[in-house]
Amino acid sequence: MSRLLTLTLTSHRGRRYPVELFTSDTELAEEGAVYMLLRLPEGRAVQAQILYVGATCALGAQLERDKLPGGAWARAEALGFDTIGAVALSRPEDRQAVAQEFIQSWRPPCNDGHGAHAGLMELAGPLPVTLPRGTTRH
């Protein structure tokens, strides 16, 4: 449906990345990106959860493939997925490097992360996210 905001993520290596956040029903362009399926915190919570990280040269088409039975979308949805995050990167080697850095930083459960705290990411404070009217959290 729409872009929510930009969130800056800091990896375990101390690198900062601007991640555009979108509602899960947004039709995204066919561009190269590292993308994440996330569960944003509710209320005053300051931990978001990165459920899945992927890299693609065509984001919209990749998300459609992820929706197929057994795909990352279904696995993330079972864990409360409600937001798509994306970092646009045109070079394949950059996408692969950043995706691996994100996976190593947060160990998303749908990328075979382990434990109850897999994918948890501390935020500086509560997100100022107000979902568009008619949008529900899963």
User: Which CATH number fits the domain that encloses residue 87?
Assistant: 3.40.1440.10
Instruction: Find, among 52, 47, 59, the residue nearest to 74 by Cα.
Output: 52
Tokens of 10: 């800091």
What local confidence, expressed as pLDDT, does residue 59 receive?
A: 96
Return the higher-pLDDT residue of 130 and 43.
43
- State the Cα–Cα distance between residues 60 and 62, nearest whole angstrom: 5
Residue 133 forms part of a structural domain: no
In this structure, what token pair is assigned to residue 67? Answer: 């929706």
Q: Specify the pLDDT at position 41.
A: 78
* pTM score: 0.81
Helix (H, G, I), strand (E, B) or coil at 7: strand
On whether the CB atoms of residues 97 and 89 are closer than 8 A, the answer is: no
First to last CA, the chain: 15
Query: Are 119 and 74 a contacting pair, CB within 8 Å?
Result: no
Structural domain boundaries enclosing 44: 3-122
Q: Per the domain annotation, does 7 fall within a domain? A: yes
> Is residue 128, in this structure, part of any structural domain at all?
no
* β-strands 47-56, 33-39 pairing: antiparallel
Residue 135 lies in a domain: no
Question: Could you give the number of structural domains in the chain?
Answer: 1
Q: Is residue 42 part of a domain?
A: yes
| Portion of the chain with pLDDT greater than 70, in percent | 75
- 129: in domain: no
Query: Is residue 60 in some structural domain?
Result: yes
8-state DSSP, 44: T
Give the Cα separation of 99 and 54 in Å (integer): 6
Each residue of 65-123: pLDDT tens digit?
A: 999 998 999 999 999 999 999 999 999 999 999 999 999 988 999 998 655 456 666 55
131 falls within a domain:
no
What integer pLDDT is reported at residue 49 of this predicted model?
A: 87
